[in-house]
A and B are shown apart, each in its own frame.
Chain A
Amino acid sequence: MPHLSTYVGLADHSEETLADSFRTIADGHAHVADVFHTCRMLAGWCDDHRSRLSEAVERYGEQDDVDEPERLHAAGLAEPREGEIGLLRDLQDLHVLATLVQTTWVVIAQGAQGLRDEELLEIAQHCRGETERQLSWLTTRMKTAAPQALIVAP
């Protein structure tokens, strides 16, 4: 099942990227207390997803090189931006990354359904649910930050 293993690999890697990015943003905006603490907590969720997935990685392997040429690279956020508008952009980038993770779980769940792999299905559904909660938080936090950042921030 080369393509399922591709997606297992994608989930593993993109969760890792998301976790790293959450931590980068947490540290970069450490003076914004809720962003700092929440991003670190959400990074922990990504770690947990990866450890849940590890069993599937063993069973299906994880495929790095895909037949399909990789067009969209999710490189993660290496550097935080500064200030209120910077925070807004960083949250937005996290949202893009988390969307990639979320749809990856959707795809894996479909594969797991097809294979009647209940274990993998449960993992995919659980992780997808939590990724959706990460997305909701990012949306909520962006809505909060937007007016001040857009209109008043220097």
Chain B
Amino acid sequence: MTQDRIDDVWGERTPHARGTEWPTRVDLHLHDGVREEEVERWVQSACLLCSNGCGVDIAVKDGRMVGVRGRATDRVNHGRLGPKGLYGSTPWASSPDRLTRPLVREDGRLVETDWETAMGRIVAESTRLLEEKGPLSHGFYTSGQLFLEEYYVQAVVGKAGVGTPHMDGNTRLCTATAAAAFKESFGTDGQPGAYDDIEHCDAVFLYGHNMAETQTVLWARILDRTRGEDPPKVVCVDPRRTAVAEEAERTGGVHLRPRVGTNLALMNALTREVLENDWVDRDYVEAHTIGYDDLVATVAPYTPEEAERICGTPADDVRRAARIFGESEAVLSTVLQGFYQSHQATAASVAVHNLHLLRGMLGRPGAGVLQMNGQPTAQNNRETGADGDLTGFRNWDNPQHVRELAEQWNVDPMTIPHWAPPTHAMQIFSYAEAGTIGLLWISATNPAVSMPESARIRRILGGDQCFVVVQDLFLTETAELADVVLPAAGWGEKTGCFTNVDRTVHLSEKAVDPPGEARSDLDIFVAYADAMGFTDEDGEPLVKWRTPEEVFDAWREATRGRPIDYTGLSYDKLRGPSGIPWPVDEEHPDGTVRLYADGVFPTQTEVCETFGHDLVTGAAHTEEEHRALRPDGRAFLKGAPYSPPHEEPSEDFPLRYTTGRTVYHFHTRTKTGRAKRLDDAAPDAWVQLCASDAEARGVADGDWVLVESPRGSIEVRARIGPVMEGAVFAPFHYGHWDPTGLCPDAETRQANELTMTVWDPVSKQPTFKTAACQVTKVRTDERRR
């Protein structure tokens, strides 16, 4: 059995030198009392509990999932698993509070019913609204956690069946900026780099990415380089002194600590330094980019001293970090929520691309960008268009792209909503608030905890103005507010594919049956489409597929010829030793490890997924404007000036509030909270503040504090730690659900009570990291008395 991965999060080191293969180490965990030889079957899958997507096999015994083992042959994890994957993958499945029957609201209470009744209510409401108000009365808010096939069917049902542009996922909260940044720089979504770049780089830059906690196995992969021969230098951009920051200091890199909300000013200064010192690959820039002169002008005012003034980061640190970027041969950059959920998210993330383009550092081993996702399978939401994108990385503003889809689905192109930008999540909730969306269907996600200004979200979901359908594994904080609750099957209880951050597609096979009457999300969407009688132009059922594999085959066709080409993939091929990175087509039968090796980008006006946006206002460029630029396969260098965050500290709220993920949780703890080891390791919320801020408030470590913003408050324990002065950090996973019933703050600990309803102008990703707050002591730590 694997050693304890709660205390030893990243496990034993297996150091190795630059350019050599990451050694294999197989991690295994079985439920208490189950011995390895008792496992009846191992079923191929991949882990869903963070965007790393580690290859795993699921252990099955007596019709139950009883543990997991890392897949030694998998390109993503080489056998390793982290605490969430090991301890959190399977226990939820046999949790006694699984939803096993549909629920409907009667006299204000949710009561058990059968599928016919539940689906009947949905269909009646849906039909009435379609007749009275048309498709714009429907909204779908999906997850980062369905399988590719389920998203694809949802996209078809929503876009070609109902015909609504109001479709988005909670991927909007986690990965929308990654997608937006790719589109702005390279023309379409799609990760250029690969995890393998870790083995080849001589510097790693982590921008707002606490990889040590968010993707533990990937971090182990980095540690195995930094502890081996020719280690890369690590540069960390984070207002907290995280494990990543410590590693930066240890490796002779730099820890840059920008004030919350000032990332773009720092990025502009780094860019300016690279230009000033002429660490620029002129030939590459000349041949493969456009926008150089504008970028130079935009970043000109951002001297290291100016960055110090705005960000509070010492000017010399900025110089050192820029020098590392400028003088390394192969830099790997990774970006996550510290950028995506903060002020000027897309502009700051695009700035990372700019640095790589200026240095010609894309598409070769070690020189890569990983714009991370916060969720597994979030990538598939973007690919299939169950969120605000158009299926297969198509451009909603390009009539030819819409026609291709209409042909694929055999519907009138006018059915597919494309006459306005697709509606993003925050807007969907505003329409639901106003009641102009009268039916909101939420699958496998928990917006009552995960969205900003959560009191407002609860009001919207609990109100009478909108009929709310929730399909999930448990009665989450969101499901409690629904009008109809549908019990869904989870991971291991259904078959389907998903794709991790570095485009690696895995097949996850069904290991066991779902409990009670729970059904797969795929079956639920198909049942709805059938019951609604959605048909194609020939009067045939719109959704013709019944099995995941049939859906997958249809999906492959929808990607043909697009930058995201799955045509060379099949279930059979995916049953091999490891996942396969797309595109997989005739030219690349074994997949593609890195995109853009040739410096040619999908920016042609006919090909691109977007005509681009003004990074400051979010204004969409038109086709004519795009054509006039003649991008013709060149990448865009795009800059923007820094502006202060939306809410600056004030007398009443003098601190900067920021939120984030920590190691033992995943998405509102629906699964991880039901894994005893993970819950024991981190049962409760807290806030972190620095020693001087704590002292000024008479707060000692462990004391209970009230944290207030203009929108709400929480009451949790304080932890004194290495966060920047003036900043307060809270983990954003905790809702009022408390598995042990022992946490005194369960009703008062939801981090998003305090965050703002505001989003990035381009990616529309809500800002969870810039709010003003005050902290006051409520009572002394009772354990100290």
Contacts and interface: CB of A to CB of B under 8 A. Distances in A.
Interface of A: 32-34, 37-38, 41-42, 84, 133-134, 136-137, 139-140, 143-144, 146-148, 151-154
A59 B365 CA distance: 60
Contacts of A137: 614, 617-619
Contact of B761 (A34, A151, A153): A34
A148 B431 contact: yes
A63 to B, nearest CB: 32
A84 B620 contact: no
A26 B52 CA distance: 41
B682 interface: no
Majority secondary structure, A binding face:
helix
B629 to A, nearest CB: 14
A64 to B, nearest CB: 32
Nearest to B129: A152
A38 B618 contact: yes
B728 to A, nearest CB: 22
A37 B436 contact: no
Interface in B751-775: 756-759, 761
Nearest to A145: B420
B436 A153 contact: yes
Given A37-B758, A84-B436, A144-B421, A136 B136 contact: no
A140 B136 contact: no
B619 A140 contact: yes
Nearest to A138: B619
B253 interface: no
Contact of B617 (A42, A84, A153): A42
Q: Which of A33, A133, A137 has the most CB of B within 10 A?
A: A33
Contact of A140 (B421, B427, B437): B421
B646 interface: yes
B165 A147 contact: yes
A17 to B, nearest CB: 20
Given A137-B614, A146-B420, A37 B646 contact: yes
Q: Which are the 5 A-B pairs with shortest beta-carbon distances?
A: A136-B619, A137-B619, A137-B617, A152-B436, A140-B620
A133 B419 CA distance: 21
A147 B423 CA distance: 11
Contact of B426 (A33, A37, A134, A147): A33
B732 to A, nearest CB: 19
Interface in B99-150: 133-134, 136-137
Nearest to A143: B420
B420 A147 contact: yes
Given A34-B759, A137-B619, A139-B619, A148 B436 contact: yes
A148 B134 CA distance: 10
B136 A148 contact: yes
Nearest to A44: B643
Contacts of B136: 147-148, 151-152
Given A137-B618, A140-B619, A143-B420, A33 B759 contact: yes
Interface string B414-438: 0001011101001100110011110
A151 B430 contact: no
19 contacts: A33-B426, A34-B759, A38-B617, A38-B618, A84-B434, A133-B619, A137-B614, A137-B619, A140-B619, A140-B620, A143-B620, A144-B423, A146-B420, A147-B417, A147-B420, A151-B134, A152-B137, A152-B431, A154-B435
Given A33-B426, A147-B165, A152-B436, A140 B431 contact: no
Contacts of B455: none
Interface in B625-655: 643, 646
A137 B618 CA distance: 7
Counting chain B residues whose Cβ lies within 8 A of the other chain, the interface size class is 20 to 34
Contacts of A144: 420-421, 423, 427
A43 to B, nearest CB: 13
Contacts of B421: 140, 143-144
A149 to B, nearest CB: 9
Contacts of A139: 619
B133 A151 contact: yes
Nearest to A142: B420
B162 to A, nearest CB: 13
Q: Which of A143, A152, A153 has the most CB of B within 10 A?
A: A152
B537 to A, nearest CB: 23
Contacts of A34: 618, 758-759, 761
A140 B134 contact: no
A98 to B, nearest CB: 12
A48 B141 CA distance: 40
Contacts of B417: 147
B617 A133 contact: yes
B556 to A, nearest CB: 32
A144 B617 CA distance: 14
B63 to A, nearest CB: 47
A133 B643 CA distance: 16
A134 B617 CA distance: 8
A92 to B, nearest CB: 15
Given A148-B136, A152-B137, A153-B436, A32 B617 contact: no
A140 B618 contact: yes
B419 A147 contact: yes
A34 B437 CA distance: 19
B621 interface: yes
Contacts of B617: 38, 41-42, 133-134, 136-137
Nearest to B164: A147
A143 B618 CA distance: 13
Given A136-B617, A151-B133, 4 more contacts: A84-B436, A133-B614, A148-B136, A148-B431
Interface in B161-179: 165
Contact of B643 (A41, A84, A147): A41
Q: Which of B137, B423, B431, B436 has the most CB of A within 10 A?
A: B436
B616 interface: yes
Q: Which of A139, A140, A143, A154 has the most CB of B within 10 A?
A: A140
Nearest to B764: A34
B711 to A, nearest CB: 12
Contacts of B759: 33-34
A41 B619 CA distance: 13
B269 to A, nearest CB: 22
Given A136-B614, A152-B436, A33 B757 contact: yes
A148 B137 CA distance: 9
Nearest to B620: A140
B622 to A, nearest CB: 8
A140 B613 CA distance: 10
Contacts of A33: 426, 756-759
